[in-house]
């Protein structure tokens, strides 16, 4: 009879951080905090029960503060993630509502906390945006810390692990992940989490392989099991056979060589063999991602999504808070461009303190620039902060979801008004900065010639442009196959945008997922895109691809491509013309 315990099994999850590691599993025991009993609290003891909850919150805050204070200097860039957890301890949705449940329902604090978390988490989990979905995990991490103090559980101390192991846990919080000792922890696997989670971001910054969202890893893996973690493919092999181990070792070697070559050359400019140079920038959501961007050879920030500063808060951030965050990023970037996209909330990025954001079709509703123009006080706060920060570096403003020239004109009026108030108040600022328009709505692409007369640059957001043009919900697996960047309609819209920009003497940038695919680089160069922006980890691969291309005579290729009528025909032509020079070997979708 075959030994079931040593049988090789493959678990599938989400690649949180690329790379491959092989080692013994170390199960991090965090069981217990979910086992919560409910009991009724007598009215005379309610005040004490609330006090017990407040004490647990206080202890949890002190514990997290200690972790932040003890974070090594090289990991300081993660501190803001942990600071957001500090804010959640006092979040009205979590803190005030738990106290309210204790008092109104006369239940114990553990039960009240569990009930509130079960109500709040789905609000984030049901959002279509991956980034915001992962904020549900932040709620869980904070609640777990409070719960551990209520039930008397011990915190997991990752820093005390003294073996070379791979961590396997139901979940790891950013605080726990930041305690990882790189000389001991090879990688980790979790039941929960996703690619956009803070835990995943820290893993990528630490550059250790991680697979998240496996679901049942802690049930399928035992302590000291030999496991293979492939963070690029999002797979975990438990008890691998000798053959699998040998094949993995060979693949890991190839990956490390390939990665080393990519990173070693990442500081070289992205210049084709025939001398066509293009800037390769990074997209960031958090200030702490700036270090990773520079380490991967980014020429600047092509898209700074500012929504994060409006999340995990009880209300809108102040002008000074925004200014300090922008200035922190600008200071690190020095002379390099920093493209700050103005607030893009609502739609699939709702914040909890906006009460009037319930819409039947939020993707087509009051979001992004539409919301900002409707709420000028909120817009002015952000614009003033940007203009103040612009005095310290090379800043651009990017306006999202523009659908017509009227919105651009109104946005410029708002920017001028912000500058005038700063001038009157004698505050240091800079108004003479480029203001660009995101081309992500078909109407904007079609009227690019009109928009180009006002805008200083275009930045094409291919994710929304494809979604709106082809009527594809990217989150709907039934139609996901129709999300085709090489669709003739998409290529014609991009070409029209580039042509209009060129005719008006302004540059065209691209900050969507299409920019991060090295195989698309020849087309984007041929269309006339002047700058690409992507997640920082992809920068070395795309730069390397560009350096492999010779665009001499590309006009003929572009003319032939634009005559083709289907995405498959265009893909075949692209593969035929450039497939042999654009590197794709050894890299998963997430690594590319």
Please give the positions annotated as active site.
Answer: 198, 511
> What residue has token string 């009993």?
37
For residue 439, the cross-strand partners are 460
Instruction: Tell me the three state secondary structure of residue 76.
Output: helix
Task: Give the C-alpha separation, 485 to 561, whole Å.
Answer: 13
Q: Is the dihedral of CA 156, 157, 163, 166 positive or negative?
A: positive
453-479 CB burial, b ≥16 within 10 A, e <16: ebbebbbbbbbbbbbbbeebebeeeee
The CA-based angle 272-274-277, given to 5 degrees, is 45
Residues forming the annotated binding site for Mg(2+)? 440, 464
User: CB–CB of 401/336 below 8 Å?
Assistant: no
DSSP states of 101-137: HHHHHTB-HHHHHHHHHHHHHHHHHT-S-HHHHTHHH
Instruction: Tell me the three state secondary structure of residue 536.
Output: helix
DSSP states of 52-77: HHHHHHHHHHHHHHHHHHHS-GGGGG
CA distances from 478 to 14, 234, 466, 474, 553 (A): 19, 22, 16, 9, 40
37's tokens: 């009993």
Task: Give the C-alpha separation, 397 to 66, whole Å.
Answer: 37
Q: Is the dihedral of CA 540, 545, 550, 553 positive or negative?
A: negative
> What residue has token string 């805008």?
455
258's tokens: 């390939």
For residue 189, the cross-strand partners are 168, 211
Q: Give the total residue count for the chain.
A: 592
Q: How many other β-carbons are positioned within 10 Å of the β-carbon of residue 546? A: 25
For residue 321, the cross-strand partners are none
Task: Give the C-alpha separation, 18 to 33, whole Å.
Answer: 31
Q: Determine the angle formed by the axes of helices 567-578 and 554-563, rounding to 10 degrees.
A: 160
User: CB–CB of 538/519 below 8 Å?
Assistant: no
The CA-based angle 168-169-171, given to 5 degrees, is 140
Residues forming the annotated binding site for phosphoenolpyruvate? 305, 341, 463-464, 474
Task: Give the C-alpha separation, 146 to 143, whole Å.
Answer: 5
Task: Give the C-alpha separation, 300 to 292, whole Å.
Answer: 12
């Amino acid at each position: 009879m075959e030994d079931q315990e040593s049988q090789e099994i493959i678990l599938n999850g989400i690649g949180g951080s690329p790379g491959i590691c092989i080692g013994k599993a170390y199960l991090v025991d965090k069981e217990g905090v979910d086992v919560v009993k409910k009991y009724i609290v007598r009215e005379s003891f309610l005040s004490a029960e609330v006090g017990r909850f407040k004490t647990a919150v206080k202890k949890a805050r002190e514990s997290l503060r200690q972790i932040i204070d003890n974070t090594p200097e090289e990991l300081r860039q993660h501190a803001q993630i942990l600071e957001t957890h500090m804010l959640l301890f006092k979040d009205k949705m979590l803190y005030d509502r738990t106290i309210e449940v204790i008092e109104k329902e006369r239940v114990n604090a553990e039960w009240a906390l569990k009930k509130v978390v079960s109500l709040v988490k789905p609000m984030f989990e049901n959002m279509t945006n991956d980034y915001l979905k992962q904020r549900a995990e932040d709620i869980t991490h904070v609640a777990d810390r409070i719960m551990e103090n209520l039930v008397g559980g011990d915190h997991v101390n990752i820093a005390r692990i003294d073996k070379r192991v791979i961590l396997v846990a139901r979940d790891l919080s950013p605080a726990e992940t930041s305690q990882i000792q790189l000389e001991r922890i090879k990688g980790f696997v979790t039941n929960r989490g996703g690619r956009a989670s803070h835990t995943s971001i820290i893993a990528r910054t630490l550059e250790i392989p991680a697979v998240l969202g496996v679901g049942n890893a802690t049930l399928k893996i035992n302590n000291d099991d030999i496991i293979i973690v492939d963070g690029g493919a999002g797979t975990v092999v438990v008890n691998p056979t000798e053959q699998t181990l040998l094949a993995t070792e060979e693949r890991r070697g190839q990956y490390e060589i390939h990665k080393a070559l990519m990173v070693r050359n990442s500081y070289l400019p992205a210049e084709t063999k025939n001398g066509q140079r293009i800037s390769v920038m990074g997209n960031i959501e958090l200030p702490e991602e700036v270090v990773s961007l520079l380490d991967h050879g980014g020429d600047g920030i092509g898209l700074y999504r500012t929504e994060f500063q409006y999340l995990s808060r009880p209300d809108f951030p102040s002008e000074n808070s925004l200014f300090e965050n922008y200035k922190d990023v600008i200071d690190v970037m020095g002379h390099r461009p920093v493209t700050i996209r103005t607030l893009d909330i609502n739609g699939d990025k709702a914040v909890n303190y906006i009460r009037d954001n319930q819409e039947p079709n939020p993707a087509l509703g009051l979001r992004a620039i539409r919301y900002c123009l409707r709420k000028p006080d909120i817009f002015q706060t952000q614009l003033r902060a940007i203009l103040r920060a612009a005095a310290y570096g090379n800043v651009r403003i990017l306006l999202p979801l523009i659908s017509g020239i009227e919105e651009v004109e109104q946005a410029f009026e708002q920017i001028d008004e912000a500058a005038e108030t700063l001038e009157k108040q004698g505050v240091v600022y800079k108004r003479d900065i480029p203001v660009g328009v995101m081309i992500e709505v078909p109407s904007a692409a079609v009227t690019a010639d009109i928009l180009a007369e006002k805008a200083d640059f275009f930045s094409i957001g291919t994710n929304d442009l494809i979604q709106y043009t082809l009527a594809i919900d990217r989150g709907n697996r039934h139609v996901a196959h129709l999300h085709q960047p090489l669709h003739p309609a998409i290529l014609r819209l991009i070409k029209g945008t580039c042509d209009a920009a060129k005719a008006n003497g302004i540059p065209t940038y691209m900050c969507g997922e299409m920019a991060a695919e090295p195989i698309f680089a020849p087309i984007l160069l041929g269309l006339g895109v002047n700058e690409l922006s992507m997640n920082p980890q992809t920068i070395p691969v795309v730069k390397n691809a560009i350096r492999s291309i010779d665009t001499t005579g590309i006009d003929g290729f572009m003319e032939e491509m634009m005559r083709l009528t289907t995405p498959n025909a265009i893909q075949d032509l692209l593969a035929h013309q450039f497939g042999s020079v654009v590197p794709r070997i050894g890299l998963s979708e997430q690594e590319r």
